Amino acid sequence: MIIEFYKYHGTGNDFVLIDNRSQFFDKNNIELISKICSRHTGVGADGLILLENDNQYDFKMIYFNSDGKQTSMCGNGGRCVISFAKKLNIIDDKVTFLAIDGLHEGIIKGETIKIKMIKVSNIHEVYNGCLLDTGSPHFVKFCPSVNKINVLKSGRELRNNKEISEDGVNINFTEIIDNYSIKVRTYERGVENETLSCGTGVIASALSAYSKGLVDSNRIKISTLGGELFVSFDFKNVYDNIWLEGPAIEVFKGQI
């Protein structure tokens, strides 16, 4: 079978996107998905995203980590699939779509793609860090300098630490720059490595920094290895109206 795909990235967090409205792609073929995402024997990506029809909303997003397994929400992937839907002429500049964690809204302004994420009710302080779910489970560890962290080694250790989570979490090393900006490096489960950026991870870091009084703005600039993102939110007992914004870039189209 010849599979047509598009490669996108959101601040270096890269994805293979496939138009699966005809339901031709085998979602249970973990080996195939993993092979496509392989950096050495496939296209190379942090994850694979299928765009499918939905009866109620503009489309449905199905996300797989690079290990081939369907997993929790991906914020940068969500922004990329919004851009992809625009390219396919499914949407104009506003969108509502369904993902594994529920309904999302999106807005396109040129190369900037904004996605509205789920509410966050609880931020738990555990193991000298913050544990929360922003569509994916994340642990936030504050550090004086993220550039000095061995993210692969320390991230892997924390990701598998049962005192943090029995199921394993994504790990975000976070540095406070000033009252409205932070720097984040993320170790992602499923990828089992550092990624250049993680959308749900920067949201987790921004909310955690705000909850601890380390920043005082409700619109926070986040520097990642792959570029800059912005997170904005409202807070009244819960974190609501959470938006992730940044670029989502088409890299190339191909067949495999």
Model confidence over 6-53: pLDDT tens digits? 999 999 999 999 999 999 999 999 999 999 999 999 999 999 999 999
Phi, psi of 151 (to 5 degrees): -65, -40
pLDDT for position 32: 97
Active-site annotation holder among 37, 80, 130, 198: 198
Single-letter amino acid, residue 80 = C
CA distances to 5, 152, 256 from 84, rounded to whole Å, are 11, 31, 18
Same domain, 111 and 136: no
Nearest to 255 by CA among 58, 18, 21: 18
- Is the pLDDT reported for residue 198 higher than 90? yes
pLDDT for position 150: 98
> Is 7 within 8 Å of 28 (Cβ atoms)?
no
Same domain, 141 and 199: yes
pLDDT for position 61: 98
Active-site annotation holder among 74, 80, 130, 143: 74
- Is the pLDDT reported for residue 1 higher than 90? no
Half-sphere exposure of 227 (CA within 13 A, CB side): 16
Same domain, 135 and 239: yes
Same domain, 139 and 49: no
Same domain, 131 and 240: yes
Same domain, 128 and 171: yes
CA distances to 7, 54, 85 from 90, rounded to whole Å, are 18, 12, 5
In total, how many domains does the chain have?
A: 2
**8-29 burial by CB neighbour count: b if 16+ within 10 A, else e?**
bbbbbbbbbbbbbeeeebeeee
Same domain, 175 and 223: yes
Same domain, 108 and 142: no
Residue 74 is a catalytic residue: yes
Same domain, 133 and 113: no
Cβ neighbours, 10 Å, residue 256: 14
- Is the pLDDT reported for residue 71 higher than 90? no
Same domain, 142 and 38: no
Contacts of 163 (CB under 8 A, 6+ apart): 126, 127
Confidence of residue 167 (pLDDT cuts 50, 70, 90): confident
> ∠ CA 104-65-256 to the nearest 5 degrees?
105
Same domain, 25 and 83: yes
Residue 223: which CATH number? 3.10.310.10
Domain range for 167 = 124-244
Same domain, 113 and 206: no
pLDDT for position 111: 86
